[in-house]
Amino acid sequence: MLVEVLGLLLWFLLFTRLHAAAGKDVVAATAHALTLQSAEHALHLDIERSANNWLAGRPLLGHLAVYLYRFYYVAVAGVLLWAFVRNADVYRHARRTLVAMTALVLPVYWAVPMSPPRFVLPGVVDIVARYDILSHTSRDTGNGQNHYSAMPSLHVGWSLWSAYVAWSVLRPTHPRLALLPWAFPLLMTADVLTTGNHYVLDVAGSVVLMFVAIATATLWGRLARARARSLHSEQQTA
C-alpha cells in the first residue's frame, strides 16, 4: 500500500504543478468565458448570476458552501481508501480513472483557459472570498493557484468520480444504497454554481470528462490484463 500511496502522491504533485502552470492568458480566459456565457444565454442556461445572488443573501448556507468547496477532497481521498480496502478490482479501475481524468484535463486547461463567473459576470459575489476559512481570498491570483481553469470543473469531476466508485463498490450487494452517493455531485454542482466558480456548461464538461476517463481506464485495464496473460504464457512455455 505504501508504494500505491507514494505513487499517487507523486502523480498529484506533478498534476498540481502542471495545473498551476497551465494557461494563464487573462485576455483569452475572459474571451472564452464571455463566449461560453453567450452560448448559455442562447440555450437559456445562464443561471449563474441568479443562483449566486440567491446564495449571497443566505450567510449560513454561504459558510457551508465554502466548507464543501474547500474540503471536498477529503471525501475523494476517503472513497479511494475505502475502495482499496473493500474491493481490489474496483480500486484498480478507480485509480486508473482518477489518473486518466487528471491527465486528460490538463491539455484542456492549457489550450482553453476560462475565467470563472466571479471574474467576468457583473453582480456575481465571490462567496468563497467572502467567507474564506483558509485566510486567503479566491481572487488572489498570486496564491499559486490557477484561477483560469473553469472548464471543466474538477470539483464536479472528482465528486462524480467519488460517486461512481462508491456506486461500483455498493451496487453488487446494496443496489438501493448505491444510489445515495450520486447526491454528492449534485450537491457539488449546486455549490460551484452558487459560489460563482463555474458555469452550467462547465458541469456538462465534467460529465464528458468523466465518461472519457472511464473509457480510457477500461481500455487501460484490458491492455494490462492482456499483457499479464501474455507474460504468464511466456513463463509457462519457458
* Cβ atoms 45, 200 nearer than 8 A: yes
Task: For residue 218, give Cα distances in angstroms to 83, 88, 96, 211.
Answer: 17, 15, 8, 11
Query: What residues contact residue 95 under an 8 Å CB cut-off, 6+ apart?
Result: 4, 8, 80
Give the pLDDT score at 112.
94
**Which residue in this structure is represented by grid cell 496564491?**
143
Mean of per-residue pLDDT scores for the chain: 91
Most confident of 15-29, 119-133, 201-215: 201-215
Eight-state DSSP code of residue 171: T
24 — pLDDT class (breaks 50, 70, 90) = confident
Contact present, 84 and 1 (Cβ < 8 Å): yes
Percentage of residues of the chain with pLDDT beyond 90: 76
Of the chain, the end-to-end C-alpha distance in Å amounts to: 31
Q: Tell me the mean pLDDT in the region 109-121.
A: 95
Tens of pLDDT along 39-69? 999 999 999 999 999 999 999 999 999 999 9
Question: pLDDT value at position 8?
Answer: 84
Q: Assign 138 to helix, strand or coil.
A: coil
Question: At residue 144, does pLDDT exceed 80?
Answer: no
> Which whole number is the average pLDDT over 192-197?
97
What's the confidence (pLDDT) of residue 140?
58
Tell me the β-bridge partners of 149.
Answer: 114
Look at residue 114 and give its three-state secondary structure.
strand
Nearest to 126 by CA among 135, 116, 114, 134: 116
* Rounded average pLDDT over 141-148: 70
> Is the distance from CB of 19 to CB of 110 less than 8 angstroms?
no
- Check residue 138 and give its pLDDT: 56
Residue 210 has pLDDT above 80, yes or no: yes
CA distance 210 to 98: 9
Q: What is the pLDDT of residue 40?
A: 97
Q: C-alpha angle 115/118/119, rounded to 5°?
A: 50
What's the whole-number mean pLDDT along residues 27-50?
Answer: 96
pLDDT of residue 1: 64
